[in-house]
Amino acid sequence: MRERKKPKIAVALTYRQDKDKVPIVTATGQGRTADRIIALAKEHGIPVEENPSLAEALYKINPGQEIPVELYEAVAILLSYIMEVDKKVNKKK
């Protein structure tokens, strides 16, 4: 029997160091909605990172909610990476 391919999942997070205690899920979607979330992020210059395991865990959280404690470390690593990439991109400009 062939394994069914899981639909693409996308999760948008926001984190403002000066306002938020922890990152907040701002959008979740799968399939076409996931594609639209990714397209909008790219259109607005928002970094997109592919991490299916983390996306699957975050997908269970309702938009507007803070990420749970058990995902702090994984999201912190992701945000740290994105901030580092942003610094390098901004230096080149």
pLDDT band at 80 (very low <50, low <70, confident <90, very high): confident
pLDDT band at 47 (very low <50, low <70, confident <90, very high): confident
39 within domain boundaries: yes
4 within domain boundaries: no
pTM of the predicted structure, to 2 decimals: 0.82
| Residue 47 burial (C-beta neighbours within 10 Å; 0-12, 13-18, 19+) | middle
Write out the residue range of the structural domain in which residue 13 sits: 9-92
CA 81, 85, 91, 93: dihedral to nearest 10 degrees? -150
Of 85, 18, 90, 28, the C-alpha closest to 59 is: 28
50 within domain boundaries: yes
Q: Round to whole Å and give the CA distance between 60 and 81.
A: 23
Q: What is the CATH number of the domain that holds 45?
A: 3.40.1690.10
Q: Round to whole Å and give the CA distance between 29 and 13.
A: 12
